[in-house]
Structures are given as C-alpha cells and as structure tokens.
Amino acid sequence: MKKVKMFGMATLALFGSTTAISAVAPVAASAARTKVVLWDGMTGPYAKALDKIVKGYNRSQSKYTVVRQSQGNYAALNQKIMAAAKSRTLPDMAQATYTQVPDYQKENLVSPLDSYMLKGSDKISKAQLKNIYPGFISSSKWQGKYYSIPFSKSVRVMLVNQDLLKQLGFSTPQSWNDLEKIAKAAKAKGDAGIGFDASFDMELEGMSTAAGNKFVSKNLKVNFAKPKVLKAANTIYDMLQNGEAWTAGADVYGTNRFAEGKTAVYFSSSAGVTISASTVKKFKLGTAVFPSYQGKRATEFAGNDIVMMNNGKKHQAGVWSFMKYLLKNKTTEQWAESTGYLPLTKKARNSASYKSYLKKNPLFKAAADSLPYGFQATAFSGYNDYRNKMLTAIDAVTAKKESPSKVFPATAKEMKTIISDNK
C-alpha cells in the first residue's frame, strides 16, 4: 500500500476530476435564461469585486445567467481545468494567463472568439477594439485568432521608501542610472538600496525590452543570451554581488523585508500595492513607474485573461456577451477601482471618475501611468517549460551567484530546443 502512494500525481489527476465535477453544482436559474459558468482563481476582496460585476451583468440583460465558481488560486484553477478537460466537464469560460493559451489551444481546450468578437450582431467595433490598451489586446491573439480577453491585469512598479530616499538625498528614481546611484549611497550607509521579489525576471525583461530585445521575439527567436539581455542582467547581478540589492528568496515576495525600512526601492506587482500599503508602518510609502533603461521605458504586464472553453456546449454567445460586458469602460473602471488591477481601456483610464479615484488613492497612480509603456512577454506552445528554464537560470544568478554570461547561453540553447520541439 505504501508504495502505491508514490503514484500520487497520477492518482491526484483522477481525484481532481471528481472534485471538478462536484464543483459544477446546479444553480437555480430562471428557466428562460441560459446558465453560463465561469471558473476563476479570485479569492477574498477580489472575489467579492467579481461577484459584484457578475451580478451587474446578470441584471443588465435577460438572456444569460453567469455563475462564477472560484477554484482557489491560479495553480489550482489550471489543474482543475486539465482535470475537467479529461472528464469532459469544462466550464463555459475560465480565467487563464494568456501564456497558457497556446498549450490550451494545442489540446483543443479553448475556442477562438473571432466569430463573435469580429463578426455577427454582437461584435465590437474597431473603435472599441482600439480603445483597449495595445499591450493587453495584442497578447489575446494567437496564430491570428483571438482566444482571450484581458481581465485581471497588473504591472511592475517601484515601491519607494520616501523617508530613506530623502535621507540619502535623492528624489524618486526615473532611470536605472538613478537606481544605481541610490543603491550605492544606501550601501555606503549600511542599507540595501533595492529589493526584488524571489526572481527579477520581469524587471530584467522590462530592461531588455527597453533596450530592444524581448527574451523571445514575436517570431520566436530566442534572445535570452543576446548582449543586450546580458548587459541588463549584469546591471542587476552587480548590484546583488555588491550587496546593494537583495532578492526575496524563500519569502517569495519582498514586502516584509521592504517594510523593515532599510530598503529604498522595492520592485513589486501593482497588485501587491494594497498589501504593501497595509504592511508598511515605519515610513512614508510612495509608488513610481518602472524606471527607464537606456533612455526608454518598458514595463511588463502580468495577470490573467478570460478564455472561452471548448466544452461542446452551446453557450458561447453567452460567454462572449459577458466578455463584452467586462470590456465596457464602466465595468473595467469599477473592477480597477475595487481591486487595484489596471483599467483595460483608454477611456476608462481617462474618465473623470477614475481620475478622481486616483486622486483619493495616489498609490495606484504609478500603475495607471505605466499603461502606455506596458508590454507582454511572447507566448508560444511550451511556454511553461520555457518559463521554468528561464526562472532556473535567474535562480542560479541569485542563489548560486553565477554570472549571467555563464548561465544564460546554456539556458538559451534549452529554450530553443523547447520552442522547436513544440512547433
């Protein structure tokens, strides 16, 4: 019996599918309406905010009833989707990262949105499409078709210890040159200037993209070991080596260490601003847009999209109807204000009410100001495999203190193999 248990992984897949089935409990809906099921990874205040939006949608029309079912965190959500796919109990739509789309599409788990989004009576106009920030909508497309709409999106921002910065005699950093100076000054005082989460991959890809090289280009060329990427990586590596910067390691997020007050600038997701604001007690907290690198600014978006699942059911019109509702200026603004996620459209960002919200909540302004500079990493089939290799390389730099020029070339080779194997 004991030996049996080591097959936990395979067994879990089976158990997973049973849980998924039970999750789709029948919900009372009026007979005339079609029930449309949404699986998401939202919990706590985010779940409440989404509930409010779902309620709003259900009230706004009489054809569909959206039922949201939280599956826990994103990892659990992804696992349940795979299990549900196996037991043919997929929901009608689900939250997913856009980087998951190529693999989902390969497994035939998702349906393209084009026939609803671009054609038919309920399509969105070109003006509406243009209204969505290009950094978001560009990643919704895979192999020429739309598979997702952006939803819960965040961006990298700087959290600033304003008191320490003042003591050191600096103003809010605008560029990586400024940051290097701050880091040196802080180190001379016995503090660390800059803090990162466990991995600095998103900061590095921001710098590399500003310099002209994403880790993987749009046409799937691997740039991870290109001089521009290595140069940017060395900037961070040198700071880490000199004790001018730290990474959060097993803490995963650097919030607690930053809150201790001995770090001038900490790179965080804009989705973490709320938590940091409540954790920081010792000093005046500020936020700032990701710094420019070599005169250019690029900051990486993260977060989740919503995809239409290929479950063989005929609820797709309902799914699209809800997606369209989420992209409305009013809805995305409400979502952004209640969660701290980014508004998805330009009109929502520039609306008077959102501007007045930012006035009342100035810590969120940096994220909103980042919108024009936002980009997303290239997605492709095998992305998870690729990302794992990329994070391992970054980890070797932070934990083993190996130089990027030593680690990255071998990783780039592995990345190339992954991409060609998955073509």
Partner 1 sequence: MMNAKQTWKGSIKGWLYILPMLIGIAIFSIYPILKSFSMSFYTDYQFLTDTVLARGWGNFTYLFSDGDFHLAVVNTLIYVAGAVPLTIIFSLLFAVLLFRIKWLSGFFRTVYFLPFVTSTIAISMVWTWIFNARSGLANYFLGLVGIHPIDWLNDPKYAMLTLIIISIWKGLGFNIILLMAGLGNIDKRYMNAARIDGANAWQIFWHVTLPQLSPTILFVFINGVIVDFKVFDEVFAVFGGQPGPAQSAMTMVFYIYQQFYVMNQYGRAAAASVILFIMILIVTVLQLLISRHFDYRRPTKVRKAKGGVSL
Q: Which residues contact partner 1 by CB under 8 A?
A: 1-11, 13-14, 75, 78-79, 82, 85-86, 103, 107-109, 198, 249-252, 257, 384-385, 388, 392, 395-396, 398-400
Strand ranges (DSSP E) for 87-199?
93-96, 141-142, 145-146, 148-161, 192-196
Residue number with CB closer to partner 1 (209 or 316): 316
Q: Residue 12 Cβ, how far from partner 1 at the closest point, in Å?
A: 8
Q: Which C-beta is closer to partner 1: that of 351 or that of 422? A: 422
Query: Least distance from C-beta 401 to partner 1, angstroms?
Result: 9
Q: Going by DSSP bridges, is the β-strand pair 148-161/285-289 parallel, antiparallel, or unpaired?
A: antiparallel
Distance CA 270, CA 157 (A): 6
Q: Decide whether 212 or 409 has the Cβ nearer to partner 1.
A: 409
The whole-angstrom separation of Cα 293 and Cα 96 is 30
Measured in degrees and rounded to the nearest 5, phi and psi for residue 21 equal -65, -45
Q: Cβ of residue 2: shortest distance to partner 1, in angstroms?
A: 5
- Cβ at position 326, least distance to partner 1 in Å: 26
For 388, residues 6+ apart whose C-beta sits below 8 A from its C-beta are none
Which residue bears the tokens 């939803």?
A: 151
In the bound complex, what is the minimum distance in angstroms from residue 46's beta carbon to partner 1? 20
Q: Taking the CB of residue 253, how many other CB atoms lie within 10 A of it?
A: 18
Min CB(290)–partner 1 separation in Å = 24
Give the SS3 label for residue 303: strand
**Least separation in angstroms between CB 398 and partner 1:** 8
Shortest CB 210 distance to partner 1, Å: 28
Min dist CB 240 to partner 1, Å, is 12
Alpha-carbon distance of 40 to 68, in angstroms, equals 7
First to last CA, the chain: 41
CA dihedral (285, 286, 290, 292) in degrees, to 10, reads: -120
Alpha-carbon gap, residue 57 to 16, rounded angstroms? 30
- Nearer Cβ to partner 1 (27/252): 252
Task: Report the DSSP beta bridge partners of residue 293.
Answer: 296
Our CB check for partner 1 shows the closer of 264 and 371 to be 264
* 242/54 Cα distance (integer angstroms): 50
- Give the pair of three-digit tokens for residue 166: 């003042």
Between residues 20 and 210, which has the closer beta carbon with respect to partner 1?
20
Q: How far is the CB of 292 from partner 1 (least distance, A)?
A: 30
Whose Cβ is closer to partner 1: residue 2's or residue 359's? Answer: 2
Of the two residues 238 and 385, which places its CB atom closer to partner 1 in the complex? 385
Structure tokens of 74?
Answer: 């994103």
Phi/psi of residue 168, nearest 5 degrees: -80, -10
Q: How far is CA 268 from CA 72, 124, 144, 379, 416, in A?
A: 22, 34, 32, 22, 29
Of the two residues 156 and 257, which places its CB atom closer to partner 1 in the complex?
Answer: 257
Q: Which is nearer to partner 1, 71 or 78 (CB)?
A: 78
Instruction: Enumerate the H helices of 266-403 as residue ranges.
Output: 273-279, 316-326, 329-339, 346-350, 352-360, 365-370, 383-399
d(CA 402, CA 5): 38
